Amino acid sequence: MAVDRRLPLALLRGAAPVALGLLLWVAMAGGEQERQQTLKAQPRADAASLTQRRRHNELIMTALREAAETDDNVAQRRVPWRK
What's the pLDDT at 47?
80
> Are 83 and 62 contacting, i.e. CB atoms less than 8 angstroms apart?
no
* In the predicted structure, residue 15 carries a pLDDT above the cut 80: yes
**pLDDT above 90: residue 20:** yes
At 50 the pLDDT is: 83
Section 59-76 average pLDDT = 82
Q: What does the pLDDT read at residue 56?
A: 94
